[in-house]
Amino acid sequence: MKDFFFQLSTYEIVTLSILTFFVIIQLFFYLNFYLRVALPRKPKVTTDKKNQPPVSIVICARDEELNLKSFLPSVLEQDYPDFEVIVVNDCSTDDTDMLLDVFTRKYPNLRYTTIKQDDKFTHGKKLALTVGIKAAKNSWLLLTDADCKPVSNRWLASMASNFDDSTELVLGYGGYFPERGLLNKLIRFDAFFIAMQYMGFALAGSPYMGVGRNLAYRKELFFRNRGFASHSHIFSGDDDLFVHQVANKRNTKVEVSHQAHTLSNPKQTYKAWFSQKKRHLTTGVLYKKRIKFLLSLEPLSRIFFWSVAIFSLTFPNLTWIALGAILFRLVLNGIIIKIVLNRLNEKKIFIISLIYDLLSPFMQIAIHSAIRLTPKRSKWN
C-alpha cells in the first residue's frame, strides 16, 4: 500500500483525497441521519382507550368540495374514542359549504366554520389554520389537508400513541397516491426522500420541518409561540417553519408505522410540480444556518462525489479505487433506501432512486434560481 501511494502523481493524490472527502460526507448523512429511519424501533406500549387524550383534527379547505367528498369520511370514521374534526371553509367558491352542512347531519363529531371573501383583504392558509386551531376544543391537534386520505382507520390512534407528558409535537408521513408514469414516481420518491431526511434529522435530535399533510402538536405549543407570527409575511411555512421554530430533540417524536400515513393527490404536470416545489422551497431562507448548511451540503456533496469519481476513472492508478467507491456508495444507498421504502410502505419507486440521486441536486439549483427570478406572489397553499 505504501509503495502504491509513492507511485501516485500529485494530481492523483489530490484527486484521491477529494474523492475520499466526499465519500466521508455521504457516509455522514446516510449513517447519521437516514439509517436512523431504517433501523427498527422499540414497539410502543398500547394505550388503554380510556387513557387516550381527546384530539381535534383541523383541515383547511378552499374549493375542495370533490376532495372533501372523497376523503373526509375516512377522517371522520377513525377508530378513536374521543375526537372532533374541524373544517375551515376558506373563501370557497364551489359548494363546499353545502357539502359540509350535509356531513354535519351525518357525523356529530364534525364542525366547520367559513371565512368569507374580502376583496380588501387577502390572506393565506395560515389565517385559516389559526381560525381552526382557535376553534379546537382539545389540547392535542392533528393536522391534515383536504386532499389527503388516511391509509387506515387507525391513523389517528397511531399518531396519538406518541402523545405523552414530554411530547409536544409528532411528525408523520404524508405520501402520494401511486399512478402510472414517470412524473408520479418522481413526485412520490421526492416526497419519500424529503421525509427520510426530516425524520432522520429529528431522530438524530435536530428536527427542522414536518408536513402539514400529517402533523400533530399541542394547542398550547402553538399559542405559547404566538402561532405563525414570526413568519406571517411568508405565505408558505404553516408546517415546516412552525416546526422549525418550536421543535427540539426533547419535545418531538416521529411516527413511521404504515397505519399512520396519509396519501394525497399528486400534481399531474411537471410545470405544476415545479411550481409546488418552488413554493415549498421559499421557506428555506428562514431555516437556521446549521440546517441550511447541512441541507445544502448533502446534494452538493453528491454532485462532487459523482464528478470526482468519474474524473478519477481517467487515471489508470485510480480506476479500481474509483469503481470501488462508486460501488460502495451505490450499495450503501440502495440498502438504506430499500429498507426505508419498506418502512414507509412505498412500492415500485426503488429504481427511480438512481435517477433522483443524480438529477435532484440540479433540480434544486434550478428551483432556487427560479425563486430568485420570480416576483413574490401570495398563494393560499
Answer whether 87's CB lies under 8 Å from 128's CB: no
- Looking at residue 378, what is its pLDDT? 46
What's 53-286's CATH class? Answer: alpha beta
Q: pLDDT digits over 6-15, tens only? A: 577 888 889 9
Answer whether 63's CB lies under 8 Å from 93's CB: yes
Low-confidence ranges of the chain (pLDDT < 70): 1-6, 42-50, 118-122, 368, 371-381
User: What CA–CA distance (Å, rounded) separates 379 from 275?
Assistant: 11
- Looking at residue 48, what is its pLDDT? 59
Q: pLDDT digits over 334-377, tens only? A: 999 999 999 999 999 999 998 899 888 887 777 767 766 665 55
